[in-house]
Amino acid sequence: MIELLGRKFLQKLPAETAHDLSIKMLNSPLSNLVKFKAINNPITLFGVAFKNPVGLAAGYDKNADAISGLSQLGFGFIEVGTVTPKGQSGNPKPRLFRLPNNQAIINRMGFNNKGVKHLVKRLEKYRPNTIIGINIGKNKVTPNEKAADDYLYCFNKVHHLADYVTINISSPNTQDLRQLQETENLENLLKTLKDLQIELQTNTNKYTPIVVKIAPDQSDEATIEIAKTIKNSGMDGIICTNTTIEKNNLKKESHQSETGGLSGKPLLSRSNEIIKTVRKAVGTDFPIIGVGGILTDDDAMSKISSGANLVQIYTGLIYKGPTLIRNINRKLLSGK
């Protein structure tokens, strides 16, 4: 009841105001009012033992400011970020819009975050007993030809704290970022990251898996090329998918024409198609994390049926609350 009342209150506020307030609440004693025991449904992927397959997608807690409260909601893993080398304010406000009739959100946040050093300090101060992924990106002012420097800097800073690191080259809200998915750019970026990953493993005796988050908007042919490049570069997994710029067939409502990435229910089908395409391209054993459009436990099952090993939620958490985590895990346990 407390969780429901809190969610109803937040949904009456402007979207970004509600988000910022929820982060503050989760980083306060109020977080103790909403706790869900994590359901035990273990799975091991890229050498990491997950308590259950349901995670929080990147974008909600960019700075690891709410990690203590989030770790009490029953997630099997939490992905923080996207974080960049230097803090940046992101795109001008307003930049976050609810589409309740579509069970969707449009955002054009633009990697707003406090910088990787802040995130590191947060996790060094409090590192929950939960699998933590750290999502990294490049600063807006960094040209693509220098992008590798930003990713290398962030990976070097976070690898000792991360159970895995996600390379975000697919957000639609940083100009030209998706050009890094093009084959030559992608090969060059991932080679430098693989070299650093191995170097740090040698020096620290800790191997930190790297996964790459891809977009849903390219052709199937391009998706296959991207997936094969990621696998052949020695990466450890793929996250399918980021938000979409495609906004056809939305129910009419305020904000539906806003620019930015669309998440939520309208993304489900396309995200699942990408998962199926990637699964065929990389084979049965390569790890895939499915994200995009999960509003129900059946939606999560559709991700698994499409070929995902793990799932992540974000927009579903906004509309359905943390009970969605429990419901998905129960569904996955039953297998029905």
Per-residue pLDDT tens over the stretch 262-320: 999 999 999 999 999 999 999 999 999 999 999 999 999 999 999 999 999 999 999 99
Rounded to the nearest angstrom, the gap between the alpha carbon of residue 110 and the centroid of all alpha carbons in its chain is: 14
Separation between Cα atoms, residue 290 and residue 240, nearest integer Å: 5
Please tell me the class of the 2-334 domain: alpha beta
pLDDT recorded at residue 10: 76
Q: Are the beta carbons of 116 and 157 closer than 8 angstroms? A: yes
pLDDT recorded at residue 33: 77
| Positions of E strands within 190-304 | 210-214, 237-240, 261-264, 288-291
Known catalytic residue at 257: no
* β partners of residue 79: 133
Per-residue pLDDT tens over the stretch 170-191: 999 899 999 999 999 999 999 9
The SS3 assignment for 307 reads: coil
pLDDT recorded at residue 6: 58
pTM of the model: 0.95
| List of residues 6+ apart from 3 with CB closer than 8 A | 34, 321, 322, 323
Residue ranges in the chain whose pLDDT is less than 70: 1-9, 336
* β partners of residue 99: 104
pLDDT recorded at residue 5: 45
Residue in 22, 170, 171, 306 annotated catalytic: 171
Q: Are the beta carbons of 248 and 206 closer than 8 angstroms? A: no
